[in-house]
Structure 1
């Protein structure tokens, strides 16, 4: 589904990531870990087509994702329907007057009739248990509620891949657990989940796979079961 081959990226004379290689398959739950500044957020932006490799290639479902490919509006629309991205600073993704309109925005741009839009929005409100927030102003919600609204605005597009940058930051433990369980349910339903986090113990028993950065490259690419056999790497992950 997703393949990075010899990908490098940087700004001017500053290297951010070097010679990244991995493949993520349909329905995998992948956690990306590493020190601050190692390139995790940059990698997520590349997966979502916000940034592009300076060297190497990124392929999604057989297509090379670059500026040329996404310059075609049809390609761009289809790509962003299939790959949903939730920023670490997720509040910047909220810009509508009500929660309902926030969730409806993406599918309305797809040209769906309002009956189908309403069905999808109501389904997402119900799935995230935020039906009572439908008429609220997004900016007035708590951090956990805002995060759920942003997730709903992505889910309404029915993407194949959900990319989340530091999903637990700034949330109460209650909302951290809710978000993690929601991501697990979505993964069980067949969606690929890709997230970054420093909270190894929260995701240790949930993820299928761990990509672990060191020195701007992926040093370890281990399944969850393989990682548990390496206590030294587990301890390193806890210290990140």
Structure 2
């Protein structure tokens, strides 16, 4: 059985990329990382890709005249790698509706909050500033808004009294690494699908893994 070909877009260290690479290297996972593309030439995520034997390509947005030029170059790389699904993993650029239209319903993102709370940058800092007691992470389909696409799955993380942005981010990140490969597996196998502004998960895939995890619940 052929595996879905993923293109992973990155801008930074790439720990979520590593989670996807590790998942794709396991027996029976229904996807493979076909290429990794970064808009930042110095991103450590590129080294992670090379270490895994995956093509690592730089498309530097600063070297191109416009967003349209950047997205054309990005699309060219993805098409050359025969990418079927696009996964954003710490990719710090908003994608246009025109670009997303090239992969309808096949672009995923992971965000470090329980959306729709705290979209955009510094979600962990936003959570601390607002004094919430629970935050977490969300995997969602990408639309033209900022972290507004239909939600696939979430995991909750407690906000502890002595948390700072670094400590909270680290605990959220551990859940991201669990959640993203799971969501990718369900998406590429058709077990999760779009239904307007919501998603539906096939009954045989509803194992509780995608349910919002309560803080302190056994893993």
* Range into which the TM-score falls when normalised by the shorter chain: 0.3 to 0.5
Question: TM-score normalised to the size of structure 2?
Answer: 0.32
Max radius of gyration: which structure?
1
Question: TM-score normalised to the size of structure 1?
Answer: 0.30
The structure carrying a bigger helix percent of its residues is: 1
Q: Which has the higher contact order (CA 8 A, sep 6+)?
A: 1
